A = this chain, B = another copy of it.
């Protein structure tokens, strides 16, 4: 896999559903739907996460104007054990289902597979759906909420949110390229410093652009990472900007942007499958649609450990999948 895979499809519509903390953040008014209780009418946090996916996909389908029955496939995933956020959340849709697990990179992985399928005519229309929920993730990965564990400064805050995208011909934002990530592990084994584990994977994918024939980094307006947070973003800069200073001003990170670091107690920023999905849907896609930016790189990173592998003393493998998005407006 030497070169960027050329794609020719579009994002027809998208939707973002978030919790209260995300609504109170600097981009709160941009999201489609929020629930101040974070419960979305359900009894458990896990069922609330499934409800977010359901609402996000329904909203995206509704915005697209496309009949649900002609959507050929769903590519979906989340952070829950056995990816139950997606399997239960999308159960009611009579659409073929491909379950994915790429940790927080799933937002890009799902969009990438949907884009490949629609670019090459395997499917006409696909949905890509991902989610995360602070409360379900916290008790699964770390401690029950009631425990009130102290969070170190490098810890990130799992975003409560779900993003859904309808991919196929006819949308306002083109998807023109993809570079799937390789699994990278550089010895980080601290679950409270996932930015450090993921930054080398992001650097690996970006550096592979420089040996590709068609490097999209040169003329991209923005290079947007998923959820490296403050710590991981700094590490990525150290790893790549010293040799490639021209991309320094273009780097943005959804985990850095989604919360107000001064006013909201989030330490190193946001994380989770939902983080990059809702920021792409609510913030970056509209910029491309309005032509404010012409071309952007969307690269979601995932830390693929489990509590079990950490207890067994293993380091954290990570992956970063990259997409090239372009505005239809010249």
Contact = CB atoms under 8 A, between A and B. Distances in A.
Contacts of A319: 87, 97, 99
Nearest to A43: B312
A89 to B, nearest CB: 10
B117 A101 contact: no
Interface string A273-308: 000000000000000000000000000000011111
A90 B183 contact: yes
Which are the 5 A-B pairs with shortest beta-carbon distances? A96-B180, A82-B306, A87-B304, A120-B120, A101-B101
Given A312-B44, A312-B47, A181 B97 contact: yes
Nearest to A121: B120
B96 A99 contact: no
Given A305-B82, A306-B84, A98 B102 contact: yes
Interface string A90-115: 11011111111111001001000100
A101 B73 contact: no
Contacts of A90: 183
A101 B83 contact: yes
B46 A84 contact: no
Contacts of A106: 99
Given A96-B181, A98-B113, A100-B100, 15 more contacts: A46-B312, A47-B312, A77-B101, A79-B82, A82-B306, A82-B309, A83-B101, A84-B304, A84-B305, A91-B185, A95-B182, A98-B102, A98-B109, A99-B106, A101-B101
A64 to B, nearest CB: 17
B306 A80 contact: yes
Contact of A83 (B73, B88, B94, B304): B304
A29 interface: no
A317 interface: yes
